[in-house]
Structure 1
Amino acid sequence: MGNSAILRIELNEELIEPVYGLHKKLYGLYKELELRCTAIRLCSVLLLILILRLLTCKVYLIMVAYHRNIVWNNQAERIKTYLGGKMEYRIGRSKKNQGKEAVKEAVEGLKNPKLILFFSETDNFTEYTIEMKRLFPESIIIGSTTFVGLCREGAYKDTLLVLGIEEGIECYGDVLEEVDKYPLKYIDRVMNCVNRFKNTENTVCFEVSSALISSEELILSTFNSVLMDKGIPLFGGSAGDRGNAEKTMISFNGKVMEKACAFVVLKNLGGGIRLYRENIYKPTNHYFTATKVDIRNRTVYEYDYEPAAQVMAKALNTDIKNLPQYLDSYPLGRLIGSDMYITANQGITDHGGMAYHARVYNNSHMVLLEPDDYKEVLRRTREQVKKDVPNPSLTIMIHCLARSLLFEKDGYLNDFAKEMGGTLGNYVGFAGYGEQLNQQHFNQTMVLAVFE
């Protein structure tokens, strides 16, 4: 019996041992699987954390793009960032006599500008226009003749002055033709440019027009029938010449024109655009109401039902014979609400009328102006601009030819240009026969467009 019991136990141990070994193997596999599952779970958690971080970064980048004006190119593969509102541009000039050589020197360093503005005397203007188009066939190129070119280094006559902007703006341009008669025929060109923008925030329209053909008011009416609805301000000027009122020219994309207006609608991708208007004349105590006018020919025949020239001579304490010597220094101001726009005298007409360089409308309220302390006025203007825009990216200046002649006579023109550069930094300016801002055409004024 005892032997039999012992035998059974030994048999059971022999059976259990392989089972136990199998159990150990299975348990080992279980532990290994458990460790792998733990590793997989850990990897899953890490992957989830990584995805959340990437999503957070993407949201952050989108926020930065909104606040820093990152422009996403819908056609693909690149992102351009304009931090701090800085543009990429170059300002160049040349006094060389040969057109091609002058252009080559003035545009040195420009590679692929989106927009080119250039200003020069009338003599070589056509050659400059053709050569500029040959060198930069894909750019928007707008040119104007001028009395003088202005930049931070000084005032330059008989010089080609060029501004080329390569980055920092979005822009579309075109031209209005037949501006002395029917500029409204070309209104679709303005609409086509405006409609290409996704939005018109920080957008302006800059234009240069042929002068000496009394077309500016017709041009402004055409522009503003489109721009006002879109909330796009306008600034610009009439072309100039050597000061003899003989011939002015403008050009657009390689074509010279004498009865046209070239324009560009441009958006500052790095910030806002501030517009300023400065006059260096102050009101006297002599106020008039225009009671008989020829609007189209810019002539006033009567102020307060009296012959216009007679009224002016009386206000200046002189007679009609000696009145012409006062006309350059004593323009009129056209009053619209709290604003005053300078209207320059052109001369005395037959039948005692007064001709002007801007329209005066029937029942317009006018005031005789006299010279102010222009250096003090300029100091206040520079102070205001510096306060508003401490570090401008770029400024475009329109400076009336009459003001330029006055400063030149006083030996101040070059100093004026340099002093403005101290506030504006890099800028370009030209001098012609009129200035425009929004709905108004006026004279003897400086207009600034300061890009933040």
Structure 2
Amino acid sequence: MQTVTFENSKQVLEYAALNSDQILVLFSTYAEIEMIDARLPENVIVASSFAQTYAGERKERGFTGFVIDKNECEIVPIADPPILSRYDLKKAYDKVKDNPNAFMYLIADGLSGQEDMILTSLYFMRTDFKMIGGSAGDMKHDETLIYYGSHRVKHLCIFVDCKKRTKLVKENIYVPTGKKMFVTNADPIKRCVYTFNNRPADEEYARILGISLCDLNDAFISHPLGQKVDGELFINSPQKINHDHSITFYSEIIPNKFIDVLGLGDMKQIMAETREKMGMKPSTLLSINCVLRDLYFKKPGKWREVFASLDELNEKEAGFISAGEQYNFDHCNQTMVLLGIE
């Protein structure tokens, strides 16, 4: 398994023809995928995304991802609704479940809001089985393109029977501020919160931050919400303020529980902790970064800091900018998930 990047579709098609024993898993823009979809050979998987990362560079052109031997993986398209694919998913999982280095790589339609349904459909998997995923798509189009060969699919996952040691790491650059809100009325299916502390969601959010309501939308990037699951922090990013004063999020929030208000942490220290958690210098490094992290990292010098840290692990890191991240059995936002293969 190794990371790859191609400047154009011609290079993709040439490589795929010469390496029919490999599966190519690639990410690119909606426009570039539209031009290639009808000609895609059966050993190519491609999905639309905001942007890609490769070897210390953020890319908005070409195709970037990884290649893997066919005999090392099994590909399972996921239906709509996802529960319809549970038998195919379990069959593929059963083949690799006893390998501690095996993992599942998920590509979800980030515009469908079905990530939680997909994760629920994996009820048969052990909680210690590694799963990394990203929500594909972009904000410029009202649909996500995911192709397996010339066949368009809703979602897709790849079970990899890896023989080398693997490590899965999650990074948040946000930390609890000590401020909390109680979710008093919310619809997890719609990912919408109506009230915090029995007050309209937007008004209470702004009050807790000590800002005016008109400044709340601009504060989302610096002050998302978060909740701990088994001691680990998972971020819930606000998407928009609605006319009824409710707030729609990019991931579900359950009512009748406290949720933390977050703020930016010490980025340099956090990235050092990420490298330490990896615990090895992987020969292959795959990343998935949230589009909201990308928005922050577009500030002068920020992406350079991130790439410098990743280069210490592997100088040919490859990944994509997602609309949400899946880490084991949780869907989160404003996060980077990393998969290292020794």
TM-score normalised over the length of structure 2: 0.91
Separation (CA, whole Å) in 1 of partners of 2:5 and 2:72:
21
2:249 corresponds, among 356, 360, 371, to 356
Specify every segment of 5 or more residues in structure 1 that has no aligned partner in the other structure, as ranges: 1-86
Note the 1:113-152 alignment, pairs <5 A: 113-133=21-41, 137=42, 139=43, 141-152=44-55
SS in 2 for 1:202: coil
Is the Cα contact below 8 Å between 2:221 and 2:296 reproduced in 1?
Answer: no
Separation (CA, whole Å) in 1 of partners of 2:18 and 2:299:
36
| Number of aligned positions between the proteins | 342
Equivalent residue number for residue 159 of structure 1: 62
How much does 1:164 deviate?
A: 1.6
Greater fraction helix: 1
Is the Cα contact below 8 Å between 1:151 and 1:421 reproduced in 2?
Answer: no
Separation (CA, whole Å) in 1 of partners of 2:77 and 2:69:
21
Give the letter aligned to residue 435 of structure 1.
E
Is the Cα contact below 8 Å between 1:177 and 1:261 reproduced in 2?
Answer: yes
1:306 corresponds, among 161, 175, 199, to 199
Is the Cα contact below 8 Å between 2:170 and 2:274 reproduced in 1?
Answer: no
Residues 121, 414 of structure 1: CA spacing in aligned structure 2 closer, same or farther, 3 A cutoff?
Answer: farther
- Partner deviation per Cα, 1:388-432 (whole Å, 9 max, x = no partner): 113x12121111111112112334325633541331243320111
Separation (CA, whole Å) in 2 of partners of 1:208 and 1:329:
27
Greater fraction strand: 2
Separation (CA, whole Å) in 2 of partners of 1:185 and 1:289:
35
Residues 90, 448 of structure 1: CA spacing in aligned structure 2 closer, same or farther, 3 A cutoff?
Answer: closer
Equivalent residue number for residue 124 of structure 2: 226
Residues 438, 252 of structure 1: CA spacing in aligned structure 2 closer, same or farther, 3 A cutoff?
Answer: same
Equivalent residue number for residue 135 of structure 2: 238
Give the letter aligned to residue 48 of structure 2.
T
SS in 2 for 1:123: helix
SS in 1 for 2:235: strand
SS in 1 for 2:85: helix
Question: Does residue 103 of structure 1 match 2:12?
Answer: yes
Identity %: 23
Note the 1:41-56 alignment, pairs <5 A: none
Equivalent residue number for residue 146 of structure 2: 250
Equivalent residue number for residue 22 of structure 1: none
SS in 2 for 1:311: helix
TM-score normalised over the length of structure 1: 0.70
Equivalent residue number for residue 296 of structure 2: 406
Specify every segment of 5 or more residues in structure 2 that has no aligned partner in the other structure, as ranges: none
SS in 2 for 1:350: coil
Residues 379, 397 of structure 1: CA spacing in aligned structure 2 closer, same or farther, 3 A cutoff?
Answer: same
Residues 272, 315 of structure 1: CA spacing in aligned structure 2 closer, same or farther, 3 A cutoff?
Answer: same
- Partner deviation per Cα, 1:312-351 (whole Å, 9 max, x = no partner): 0101112223321212221001233422110001121233
How much does 1:254 deviate?
A: 2.5
Equivalent residue number for residue 237 of structure 2: 344
Aligned residues: CA RMSD: 2.3
Separation (CA, whole Å) in 2 of partners of 1:366 and 1:151:
35
SS in 2 for 1:124: helix
- Partner deviation per Cα, 1:93-147 (whole Å, 9 max, x = no partner): 21x4xx4x24246x389523433210101102134344341xxx3x3x3322122
Note the 1:38-437 alignment, pairs <5 A: 87=1, 89=2, 91-94=4-7, 96=8, 99=9, 101-104=10-13, 107=15, 111-133=19-41, 137=42, 139=43, 141-166=44-69, 170-178=72-80, 182-197=81-96, 199-223=98-122, 225-228=123-126, 231-241=128-138, 243-244=139-140, 246-257=142-153, 260-269=154-163, 271-385=164-278, 388-390=279-281, 392-413=282-303, 416-417=306-307, 419-437=309-327
Is the Cα contact below 8 Å between 2:56 and 2:316 reproduced in 1?
Answer: no
How much does 1:306 deviate?
A: 2.0
